[in-house]
Amino acid sequence: MDAILVTGNGPLSGKIPIAGAKNAALALMPATLLSEEPLTLTNAPRLSDIKTMSDLLRSLGSEVTSLNDDLVLALSSQNLDNLTADYDIVRKMRASNLVLGPMLARAGQAVVSLPGGCAIGARPMDIHITALEALGAKIDLKDGYLHARAPAKGLIGARHEMRFASVGATENFVMAATLANGTSQLVNAAREPEIVDLVECLRKMGAQIEGEGSPVITIQGVDRLHGATHPVVSDRIELGTYMLVPAIAGGEVELVGGRMNLVTAFCEKLDEAGIDVSETANGLRVKRRNGAVKSVDVKTEVFPGFPTDLQAQMMALMCAAQGVSSLEETIFENRFMHAPELMRMGANIEVHGGTARVSGVENLKGAPVMATDLRASVSLILAGLAAKGETLVSRVYHLDRGYEKLEQKLQAVGAKIERVAGK
């Protein structure tokens, strides 16, 4: 198994290009299942999660072709010849559950294994199930698989209020409702930019949807959707992660393709911590205001709040800041697995339930550490950039799920980072 070796080497400066969003692409790709006509996605990220979703779609009968150095995904789902999403693929990635709504809407039935993915809490499927049941679906759990069936004449438009604004359940409901009979309304819908991107694509495919980005989304069902071409929105989590590079290591980095409105709550916290973010013609420029980074308190929330997917990375920054900060995780239980690894690097962290208290230290020290999930892994890389000495991060397959060309992007701003085989 590969590992990544990082040697802290001071201020980092230059440009980092931001890829298309993993989480947007993972919702956009299953939208192919809604139509017999081709769907083309441009600005696709080059990640192992995208390969996993491609494999899953192919297993259902879709054709998936990568073009232009894998930046373009050509998807076509003329015939769906298998309506079962198998455990062997689904266990690799929770977002596999996003085939459930579209398959049910188009084919009238779907069998989807309960998902796996990052080990960050229980992550049940109840919100997805009740949302699709509101559209008339009958769903049973048998042998670890959800067996879903639409009424004989198809899903029926309905108003449904979710108990929590789940990102995935919003995506499943909206995709399913595009082909339902009549009007559907989702109340307490998630508002993440990836949902807005999905709706923009569905609209290009002929769907009638209003209200994306607000807590109420209204969908008027149509008989069929057609083909479309859609660019994947920029990855706000990759953006936020690389914005922390000059924050933790010093220097000045331009994030090409970054947009402030994707990371507003995150930028507010950076500002409080003494980090300047400014807009440029091509993206965002980030640097420390006057040397020291100040501790700030953070609470993760659904969008537009501080994203849970940037909590681990922010913790790495707080480990090297001046003062004491409190990081509260409200979206996932068990999402502090990076804390003990950061402590191996000399960080001072106490975890009590869903809150971590981080006292900044003057110097982090390089150490062998282990990646436990996608965002936890990259927090260790960030800490390694600021640490004295060498940090060897093992189990980097987690990183390859969500960060394309990570070493190259960091080398381009002067970081000493390399992949080493077989550690």
Question: Can you give the binding site for ligand UD1, defined by CB under 6 A?
Answer: 23, 26, 94-95, 121-128, 164, 166-169, 194, 308-309, 331-332
Sheet holding 283-288, edge to edge: 12-17, 251-256, 283-288, 275-279
**Which residue, 21 or 255, has its beta carbon nearer to ligand UD1?**
21
The residue of the chain with the least Cβ separation from ligand UD1 equals 168
Q: Residue 88, exposed/middle/buried by CB under 10 A (0-12, 13-18, 19+)?
A: exposed
Give the side-chain half-sphere CA count within 13 A for 290. Answer: 0
Q: Shortest Cβ distance from residue 308 to ligand UD1 (Å)?
A: 5
**Which residue, 53 or 385, has its beta carbon nearer to ligand UD1?**
53
**Which residue, 52 or 76, has its beta carbon nearer to ligand UD1?**
52
Cα distance between the two ends of the chain: 6
* CB 237 within 8 Å of CB 255: no
The C-alpha angle with vertex 96 and arms to 355 and 193, in degrees rounded to 5, equals 60
In this structure, what are the phi and psi dihedrals at residue 413, rounded to the nearest 5 degrees? Answer: -100, 10
User: What's the residue count for the chain?
Assistant: 423
267 is known as an active-site residue: no
**Which residue, 123 or 409, has its beta carbon nearer to ligand UD1?**
123
Q: Shortest Cβ distance from residue 105 to ligand UD1 (Å)?
A: 18
Q: Residue 189, exposed/middle/buried by CB under 10 A (0-12, 13-18, 19+)?
A: buried
**Which residue, 26 or 209, has its beta carbon nearer to ligand UD1?**
26
CA distances from 183 to 32, 160, 187, 212, 405 (A): 22, 11, 13, 15, 43
**Which residue, 309 or 404, has its beta carbon nearer to ligand UD1?**
309
* CB 308 within 8 Å of CB 331: yes
Kindly give the residue spans of alpha helices, DSSP state H, lying in 83-235: 87-90, 100-107, 126-134, 167-178, 193-204
**Which residue, 23 or 391, has its beta carbon nearer to ligand UD1?**
23
**What are the tokens at 10?**
């001071």
Q: Shortest Cβ distance from residue 87 to ligand UD1 (Å)?
A: 17
**Which residue, 212 or 309, has its beta carbon nearer to ligand UD1?**
309
CA distances from 220 to 135, 180, 199, 216, 411 (A): 13, 8, 13, 13, 48
Q: What is the CA radius of gyration of the chain?
A: 21
Which of 118, 201, 267, 319 is labelled catalytic?
118
Q: Shortest Cβ distance from residue 265 to ligand UD1 (Å)?
A: 12
Residue with tokens 């409190």: 326
> What b/e sequence results for 14-30 when a residue is b if at least 16 CB atoms lie within 10 Å of its CB, and e otherwise?
bebbbbbbbbbbbbbbb
Q: Shortest Cβ distance from residue 49 to ligand UD1 (Å)?
A: 8
Q: Shortest Cβ distance from residue 364 to ligand UD1 (Å)?
A: 25
Q: For the beta carbon of residue 80, count every other beta carbon within 10 angstroms.
A: 18
Strand 109-113 with 84-85, pairing: parallel
| Active site members | 118
